[in-house]
Amino acid sequence: MKLCRAGSDSTAAISSVCSTGSGSRSDRSHGYSVLDVIPERAQVDYYILSDKKSPTATSSWTCSYRTRSGTQKVERVDAPVL
């Protein structure tokens, strides 16, 4: 498992793609991603923080993408890796 730096350019870009449409772009640019790699596929799950300044902030899953082994196609998936 790999955690990407919150607020990175790639995280902010994906956050805007994954957005549900609520809040401003800056509200969606603080979060983290989880990369899960197994022989069959690689999947990244994106999460957004409710309030980056609050020690009791919660995170919510926003979207996920995967690439199946042996392909070069990225596809959106309906759920994060559990």
Tens of pLDDT, residue by residue over 4-55, are 444 444 444 454 556 554 444 445 568 999 999 999 999 999 999 999 999 9
The CA-based angle 21-52-82, given to 5 degrees, is 70
Could you tell me which of 47, 51, 15 has the C-alpha nearest to residue 33? 47
Rounded to an integer, the average pLDDT of 53-72 is 96
What does the domain layout of the chain look like in residue ranges?
2-77
Q: Is the pTM of this model over 0.85?
A: no
Q: Is the pLDDT of residue 80 over 60?
A: yes
pLDDT of residue 82: 83
